[in-house]
Amino acid sequence: MDRKILYSAMALVIFGLIMVYSSSSVLAESRFGSNLFFLKRQFLWLLIGSLIGYLVYKIDLKKLAAFSAPLLIATIILLGIVFLMPARNGSHRWLFLGPVSIQPSELFKLAMILYLAFSISQGKRDITDWRQLLYPYGFFIAVGLILIILEPGLGSAITISLTVLIIFFLAGVRLYHLAIFILPLTSLAAFMVFVIGYKSARVYDYLASITSPLSGSYQVKQAVLTLGAGGLFGSGLGNGHQKLFFLPYPHTDFIFASIGEEVGFIGLSLLLFLFYVIIWRGIHIARYQPDRFGYLLAMGTTASIFVSVFVNICVVTALLPTTGIPLPLISYGGTALVVSICSIAILLNLSKRKGMVVR
């Protein structure tokens, strides 16, 4: 296997556990009476994700991909079931199974990548024909994205859309077909934001923060102040002050800011280097795959990781509106952690396939 990816992912996961505890201990103590509450749950999800990831690493991905269409349909059904569940923070994003909550949008993203890689790689599929692009791809993608937007989950819809576009581009879809795919999405987004008012406050806050980050929303202001407080070397692990009920979601969506405060610019640079290694090796693995399926699956998985990291950091640094995208392998969140580990397992699996030209 590609050990550079394995060691980088392990380092990120271990550091993620440390930062989840550091950034959530005060909140956990005040809300649940135990400063280890979030750490214990994250560690449990890590064990579950490691077990599932090991199975993904060992399995024949082509045999699994043969069932990708039913898996994709199953995740779309789950996206519909979430609307029968109680709302959390005004959103219907989770399935509640007793004490366990699952986020189907993360499962849909992984199933979509597997389905596209397998389906497009079939010889009978002509991806340059707009009719074959429209159905079944356009139908499945549209249904999934509409359900995610209605949750509402704009950030997830954006990351999935960008990942799909990258896969289509690499698969050889004509540029004007991609434009036809993009224009309705952007038009729909503009209509929902500026006419219906969907997430309009976040967009207007973002526009205000372009000239001055401190003119943006409360979350953006606190994230900028948190990053700035870290300086070059940070305040030290556990010594951050913004997690004391100033920075919202310091252990989930805005954990990058918490990290910046405690380990500074140097620590953030090392963190980004580890992500760079994973993305670099993912592209390397894709380049030397023996078939089109492996190439598209490796590039789609790598693109998904890159897009999630890019969007999360851009939100924290006030370059994008607040979207609620977790930082892969780092942020607190069960489903996101399991899917991130499975993504790494897919790359490790592909790195040991027979026919790989270069290790």
Q: What is the DSSP string of 125-191?
A: --TTSHHHIIIIIIHHHHHHHHHHHHTT-HHHHHHHHHHHHHHHHHHT--HHHHHHHHHHHHHHHHH
Q: What is the dihedral of CA 303, 305, 311, 313, to 10 degrees?
A: -130
What value does the mean pLDDT take over residues 46-67? 94
Instruction: Note the pLDDT of residue 239.
Output: 87
- Distance, CA of 349 to chain centre: 20
Instruction: Note the pLDDT of residue 194.
Output: 64
Paired strand residues for 176: none
Nearest to 76 by CA among 104, 100, 98, 103: 104
- Cβ within 8 Å of residue 164, ≥6 positions away: 112, 116, 141
Instruction: Note the pLDDT of residue 196.
Output: 63
Domain-located, residue 336: yes
pTM for this entry:
0.90
Instruction: Note the pLDDT of residue 85.
Output: 85
Band (pLDDT 50/70/90 cuts) for residue 193 is low
Radius of gyration of the chain (CA): 20
How many distinct structural domains can be found in the chain?
Answer: 1
What value does the mean pLDDT take over residues 138-165? 86
Domain-located, residue 359: no
Q: By the 8 A CB rule, do 92 and 82 touch?
A: yes
Surface-to-core class of residue 211, CB atoms within 10 Å of its CB (0-12 exposed, 13-18 middle, 19+ buried): exposed
Domain-located, residue 14: yes
Domain-located, residue 357: no
Instruction: Note the pLDDT of residue 213.
Output: 65
- Which range, of 84-98, 229-243, 245-259, 289-303, averages the lowest pLDDT? 84-98
**What's the start-to-end Cα distance of the chain, in Å?**
8
Q: Where in the sequence is the domain holding 271, given as residue range(s)? A: 3-351
C-alpha angle 334/117/271, rounded to 5°?
A: 45
Instruction: Note the pLDDT of residue 199.
Output: 63
What value does the mean pLDDT take over residues 182-197? 69
Band (pLDDT 50/70/90 cuts) for residue 198 is low
Domain-located, residue 63: yes
Instruction: Note the pLDDT of residue 55.
Output: 96
Q: How far apart are CA 3 and CA 19, in angstroms?
A: 24
Nearest to 284 by CA among 227, 237, 350: 350
Q: Which tokens is 305 given?
A: 């990781």
Of the spans 200-214, 246-260, 345-359, which averages the highest pLDDT? Answer: 246-260
Domain-located, residue 206: yes
Domain-located, residue 356: no
Buried/exposed 98-131: b ≥16 CB within 10 Å, e otherwise = eeeebbbbbbbbbbbbbbbbbbbbeeeeebeeee
Domain-located, residue 294: yes
pLDDT beyond 90 at 321: no
Q: By the 8 A CB rule, do 65 and 117 touch?
A: yes
What value does the mean pLDDT take over residues 92-102? 83
Q: How far apart are CA 232 and CA 237, in angstroms?
A: 14
**DSSP per residue over 256-275, as a string?**
HHHHHHHHHHHHHHHHHHHH
What value does the mean pLDDT take over residues 250-274? 93
How high does pLDDT run on average in the chain? 87
Compute CA distances 327 → 11, 201, 344, whole Å: 14, 23, 14
Kind and range of the H or E run holding 97: strand 95-97
Kind and range of the H or E run holding 240: none
